Structure 1
Amino acid sequence: MGNAFGCILPDGANASSKRVSSRQDPPAPPRPLTLPFPSSASASSSSSWTPFFNGSRPSLSSPFPSTSSRKKKKNKRGSSSGSLNLDDHESSIIQEQAIAAALLYRHHQINGSLPFIRSTSVVHPSPGSKKQRFPRSSSTRQPSPSDPMINRQQLVHSQQVENMDGVETKHFVLVHGGGFGAWCWYKTMTLLEENGFQVDAVDLTGSGVSSFDTNSITSLAQYVKPLTDIFDKLEDGKKVILVGHDFGGACISFVMELYPSKIAKAVFIAAAMLTCGQSTLDIFSQQMDSNDLMRQAQIFLYANGNNNPPTAVDLDKTLLRDLFFNQSSAKDVALASVSMRPIPFAPVLEKLSLSDMNYGSIRRFYIKTQEDCAITIPLQDAMIKSNPPEQVFQLKGSDHAPFFARPQGLHKILAEIAKIPPKQACGSTPELRHLLEYDTF
């Protein structure tokens, strides 16, 4: 309808007195007359715009001069009678249009929009909304550059993931890597929860929103205390799928030894997967000589003085993109640069005690990240060879942070692992699966 409403007046309203005679000419066909529709800004500043009635003909009080008022003045100058002769039918039409215009404008003043449904075939008002306002049809909205590109292959994949009947457990516990926090899982959490999974993402001590001083952490048990609290509160008979990234691999290994009956599967994502008697530093030292970027990015912190061992390791924020996020979006890199915290050093030095009865009884899966510059493919392959998991998945095109760079692909792997039936007979040789990336989130 735009910003104007049409009212109909007969052409005789503009005729001069010279055309008035005793013979009644047939009425001329009506023509539309436009009344200006005030903008929302002027509507808010105007004191009122309401109809009032004088006899049988309505008139509108408007802050703007209308075409009809100018024609009235012309009629007064050119007509001796100064009155308009309208039949009952035309007067009724004008009255209805004036009332409709006034009501619509009143609705516009109160609600700020007109109650028109763009496409009733796609509008579904929310039952819990207080005001039943109809959203615009998605078919009329211009596409935004930030909109995710969804192809047919991805839609088919989503339909396949939704069928999760018969899985051993739908509860994921996500453990971040060194310097990260629960915030890094926001895309993965969204995708899992949308497909019917229960998700807990934990902030380890001194990480994320934890207020604990990282330099004061002296053991791995202290560092993973928020994670062990989750398992202490877990109901008997309940199991979870435990997921660890980066240094989180050592953290979930520590917990696997403590709570083997509460963990159905363990997933290592570009993570430290240790053997008994190894520390995380032992693993990372294998590539330290060949990884100049990692060595350049490390900043050791000495809260107890320079003559004592380091208390934490920070990372140069200017090198984060090249080290961790070479395939991630600029927004996620910015999020990480303001959210990452130092890594406590004592837990990195701690050697793990892992037994076949506890740690070894849990099904393990490894997800390799092909474009990883922090834990490179040779180091990932070395850990897989020395401590073979049940299956190995390779995520193509992912940097060290697949939850940023390839969230859809990561979600597909996690959902596939969840669907693997309870353990039967597993071979000793891991199965390598190459997964194509569908799209970014």
Structure 2
Amino acid sequence: MPEEQRTSGESSAASARGAAKTGKAIANIAKGAATGGAHGAALAAAKESKKWIAGIAILLLLPVLIVLMLPVVIFGSLFGIGTDEPNAIVDDTVLSANMVSLNTGISTILSEGLTDVLARIDADFAASGCDEKEVNNPYGADVLFNANQFISMYCASKDTDVESISQSDLEAVLRQHVDQLYSFTYKDETRTVEADSSSDSSSEEAEETTITVRVYTVTYNGEWYFADHVFALSEDQKDLADNYAENLSVFLSDGSYQVLSDTEFSAMGLSYDGVVFTDGETQVVYYNQLDERWKDEPYGTDNIGGYACGPTAMSIVVSSLTSDTVDPPHMAQWAYENGYWCSKSGSYHSLIPGAAKAWGLACEGCTPSEPQRIVDALADGKLVVALMAKGHFTSSGHFIVLRGVTSEGKILVADPASYQRSNKEWDLSIILDEAGYASAGGPFWIIG
């Protein structure tokens, strides 16, 4: 069985990728700052994304580049010029408050979009002449979105007009296009049903009648629909938005950018057919997203190898804890059809409890402040899906499966991107320290 080719140098480079990929000479970045403030600096940096500076310079510039690639809508008074107003560069409470406010604002508008599309469905049905309707809404009452991507596309659309960037303006732009957040399709089905026999109680056999049912399917158009249809981004602005979103996720350690590095994705000839781990309390079926059998298969408009750590992790869980065998391509298709795929960013965090519920598995959220719950769950034969941020397992965000605990208290894992890491024993402290921020009850989900 081939091993992944990993070196410490490659790992360091991958870790630096998120924040330093737009690195260039200091002079050009400074020029951008002079013409457009921090946002102008980001634009200048993005234009030089293919010209790398020396490794040591990358490391030295990392903090600066992260700041330059993040917009003032997140940091408040970015450099506090002439004011005493606190900013998120030096005050984590300000950063947290800004992000909560932005997430709440976007979520509110997306909820309005969901209400809007359901109202449009009602109007369409009223004019359809059909007898009944069904609505397939895979999102339920939950509104799935990537706030980092919305913020990044909005800021990229402003070019160097940094003064006009604000949360209220972002919300106004989204609200103007609330009817484009969700769309629907439908098909009409002819069905045979029992007729209402209440008026003829003497009838011994139920009569049947034919009705027409219009079946609607709700679709979230996704953040990248907005790139073209709302923010009207150029290709350069799309690149800039990508860099914004990636760096924001790295800075926040929120695990929202679940994309393998180019080095990892280029691994060749991997195949793990039939691999099963038996050294934990539960026998675990192992899948790897980079397996040559499905690496290049689709996950939405992305691919499984680069983006499907979430579906692959749930393939491991479902195949190990139920009688079903669900490989990554089938789980990726299910995740896409049920609204858990996040374009260019991997999966929404709610994929984990959503897939667990769909396969009849109990799922409980858990935080890093509850290490004993994790250990006890593993000792009881349960599996724990963990969302990891930058560190030993990823340079951005990554779902892994905790599959057992040794007698010495070491944690066994099933890493969807690395068979090597899956064969190591890990200190629980590393996993707790490197867990990302997560919605949907995470960053740990106990499943059994």
Normalized per residue, the structure richer in helix is 2
TM over 0.5: no
TM bracket (short chain): under 0.3
TM-score by length of structure 1 reads: 0.20
Query: Higher Cα Rg: structure 1 or 2?
Result: 1
TM-score by length of structure 2 reads: 0.19
Q: Which has the higher contact order (CA 8 A, sep 6+)?
A: 2
